[in-house]
Amino acid sequence: MSAPADTLTAAPHLDDEEARYREVQRRERWRRRAMPALGIVGLIALWWAVVAIFQVKPFIAPSPWAVLQTLYVKRDVLLANLLPTAGEALGGFLLGNLVAIAVATLFVHNRRLQEIFFPVVVMFNSIPVVAKAPILVLLMGNGVEPKIAIAALVCFFPTLVNSVRGLEAVNPQAMELMRVLSASRREIFFKLRVFSALPFLFSALRIAASMSVIGAVVGEWIGATQGIGAMIIQATYNFDSALLYAAIVMSAALSGSFFLAIVALERAIIRWQPESHMT
């Protein structure tokens, strides 16, 4: 490395600097992790303060403590209702995204189809979920099917748009390379387009992960007897605000864990990017 004479004097000094640098880095990492937690704690404290200072009636808005108690006391019924919602959301997520990816693949290979049907899809997407939900319940009955269908519908659109964009966002010179190599469309798809589309697909899947839970909950608003959505409706009619908030916390936890699962999957699959983007 360096001359022996230097090592005696210079090395400890350099090590000091390096150690100081690492220390600063470590503190910076902790700070970045602590800040969001600070935001959440601050918000809960504010909520608590507002409820306490203005003496808000428990049936209007509960205190955080009351919500926490309800979460514990009614954990069995909450979990029993969380499971069907999670199942519907997951089913809708898988169905909606698989269909979206299939349609995107079709669109990329057949421009005519894309020109005809893309505007139709955009039109359908502009109908609000809450308007689509009753139609599907009428069509499919009161079982899990309409809930899965609604969750699938809300996942479908972002994934379709992003997949089409991703499959077409191929480096033009890489495309020319494949043509010089006389690659077939299938080879171009599986060796080039799929990989180029993956980052786009995953940013859509992150959205879809939370959207699927919203879809399932909205589906349960209409005539369902179980599920987080049904609980929300019942708790509202019964002025049981603590249970309402507890149900909301459960659904947020559900979509949060869906989201984190997708992020983990993305990190496991997309290993070629120099810097993984923080979410």
Partner 1 sequence: MSAVAAAAPRPAGDAPATAAADWAVSCRNLQVRFFTERRAITALQGLSLDVAVGEFLTLLGPSGCGKSTFLRVVADLIQPNSGEIRVFGAQPEAARLQRDIGFVFQDPALLPWRNALQNVELPLQVAVGRARRAKATPRELLELVGLKGSEQAYPHELSGGMRQRVSIARALASDPKILLMDEPFGALDEITRDRLNEELRRVWRELGITVLFVTHSIHEAAYLGQRVLMMAANPGRVRAVVPVTLPAGRTLASRESSEFVALTSELRRLLETC
**Which residues are near partner 1 by CB under 8 A?**
171, 173-174, 176-184, 187, 191-192, 195, 271-274
**Least distance CB 274 / partner 1 (angstroms):** 4
Q: Which helix (H) or strand (E) holds 12?
A: helix 4-53
> Smaller CB distance to partner 1: residue 29 or 185?
185
> Smaller CB distance to partner 1: residue 140 or 174?
174
- Comparing CA positions, the residue from 245, 254, 229, 256 lying closest to residue 69 is 245
**Least distance CB 197 / partner 1 (angstroms):** 12
**Least distance CB 266 / partner 1 (angstroms):** 13
Q: Which helix (H) or strand (E) holds 260?
A: helix 241-269
> Smaller CB distance to partner 1: residue 64 or 199?
199
> Smaller CB distance to partner 1: residue 37 or 268?
268
**Least distance CB 190 / partner 1 (angstroms):** 10
Give one word for 128, left, alpha or beta, with left for phi > 0 and alpha for psi -120 to 50. beta
- Comparing CA positions, the residue from 117, 173, 2 lying closest to residue 181 is 173
**Least distance CB 198 / partner 1 (angstroms):** 8
**Least distance CB 174 / partner 1 (angstroms):** 4
Burial per residue of 191-206, b for 16 or more beta-carbon CB atoms within 10 angstroms, e otherwise = ebbeebbbbbbbbbbb
> Smaller CB distance to partner 1: residue 171 or 238?
171
Q: Quick one: tokens of 78?
A: 């909450």
Q: How many Cα neighbours within 13 Å face the side chain of 263? A: 12
> Smaller CB distance to partner 1: residue 32 or 179?
179
DSSP letter assigned to residue 239: T
